[in-house]
Amino acid sequence: QSALTQPASVSGSPGQSITISCTGTSSDVGGYNYVSWYQHHPGKAPKLMIYDVSKRPSGVSNRFSGSKSGNTASLTISGLQAEDEADYYCSSYTSSSPWVFGGGTKLTVL
């Protein structure tokens, strides 16, 4: 159950777009369309932002979008806002376990 690989940190200025990558293998990200992304502000409950690779739950801003190519999934946030500053985690279904998370990416809005 190896964790998916995410960059430790990314940053961007308000109004810009950023992309967070999530790299796995053909046994997880590449093999299933069950990739999700969570936003986590310290001390609060995680929030589902994207599921099934690119679907957005009701209430989530359309500034958030997801995609996948091969064994790598991506979360793109456009029109960065100060409140987007948080930790972001990808997760995927795997051939050996229903859930595995990425290591997390700290987004800083400059």
Partner 1 sequence: EVQLVESGGGLVQPGGSLRLSCAASGFTFSSYAMSWVRQAPGKGLEWVSGISGSGGATYYADSVNGRFTISRDNSKNTLYLQMNSLRAEDTAVYYCAKDQTIVLVPAANIWGQGALVTVSS
**Choice between 97 and 108, CB closer to partner 1:** 97
- In the complex with partner 1, which residue's Cβ is closer, 43 or 62? 43
* Other Cβ atoms closer than 10 A to 57: 12
Least separation, in Å, of the C-beta of 107 and partner 1? Answer: 14
From start to end of the chain, where are the E strands? 9-12, 18-23, 35-40, 47-50, 64-69, 72-77, 86-92, 100-101, 105-109
Binding site for partner 1 (CB under 8 A): 1, 3, 34-36, 38, 40, 44-48, 51-52, 57, 87, 89, 91-93, 97-104
Given a contact cutoff of 8 angstroms between Cβ atoms, the answer to whether 24 and 103 are in contact is: no
Q: Which is nearer to partner 1, 43 or 82 (CB)?
A: 43
**Least distance (Å) from partner 1 to the CB of residue 63?**
19
Sheet-wide strand order for 64-69: 18-23, 72-77, 64-69
Write down the least CB distance from residue 68 to partner 1, Å: 14
